[in-house]
Amino acid sequence: MASQTIRGGFFISFEGPEGAGKTTQIGLLEDVLCRRGLAVKVTREPGGTRLGERLRELLKHFDGPEGVVPEAELLMFAASRAQHMRLAILPHLAAGGVVLCDRFADSTTVYQGVARGLDRGFIEALHRFSIGGRWPDLTFLLDLDVDTGFARARRRQLAAPGPADRIEAESRAFHEAVRQGFLELAQSEPQRFRVIDAAAPAEVVHARILEGLDRALG
């Protein structure tokens, strides 16, 4: 039962390339914050609402010869985010809770802007429209080299086979551009980002995240 609130809430996003360990780390942090008496909402993008989860399914698994053109892909991510922001994230923050979000707008900047090469000015305007000005208070970038990320994803696929994923299946060069794009974005916004070496064992990554969070919360 939550007994602590934070005025205006606290919004934390987790970003990084494929297989960086975001989901694992969000689970570990959720346990700690719940034990501290905070109301924690774990959510993800694309997704987090019924509409968002339907869009997620299409964004990840839409197949057939028609494919998804990059412009449509960008707008679907933005549509999922607009719904997610207004129906899930903002209400939880307004109630004084903590939101832990697995990917957010930085993923659009990097995947659709840097790696797909869509217009960055347009993407920034779209962020203003879909987010309405409430960016995360803190963003953990879990940085991992592409080969280690691929190997982790392969192991996970062998352990629990699932359908092919459109974006995961992009080339090595695409995923390399994603990694570099995240690092450059983090460098351009050092106040909000904490870059964590995600190649370390999960408990070590968790300890670094807690340290970063406690420092940010003062």
For residue 58, give every residue at least 6 positions away whose Cβ sits within 8 Å of its Cβ, in sequence order, or none.
Answer: 68, 76
Work out whether 42 is an interface residue with ligand Z5A (CB under 6 A). no
Residues 97 and 75: beta-carbon distance below 8 Å: no
Instruction: Report strand pairing: 193-197 vs 40-44.
Output: unpaired
Least CB distance to ligand Z5A at residue 105 (A):
7
Work out whether 11 is an interface residue with ligand Z5A (CB under 6 A). no
Residue number, 2 or 42, with CB nearest to ligand Z5A: 42
Residues 112 and 73: beta-carbon distance below 8 Å: yes
Work out whether 201 is an interface residue with ligand Z5A (CB under 6 A). yes
Least CB distance to ligand Z5A at residue 16 (A):
6
For residue 175, give every residue at least 6 positions away whose Cβ sits within 8 Å of its Cβ, in sequence order, or none.
Answer: 17, 18, 115, 146, 149, 150
SS3 207: helix
Among 43, 49, 83, 107, binds ligand Z5A (CB under 6 A): 107
Among 19, 97, 113, 136, binds ligand Z5A (CB under 6 A): 19
Work out whether 208 is an interface residue with ligand Z5A (CB under 6 A). no
Residues that bind ligand Z5A (CB under 6 A): 16, 18-24, 45-46, 77, 103, 107-108, 111-112, 152-153, 155-156, 167-168, 201-202, 205
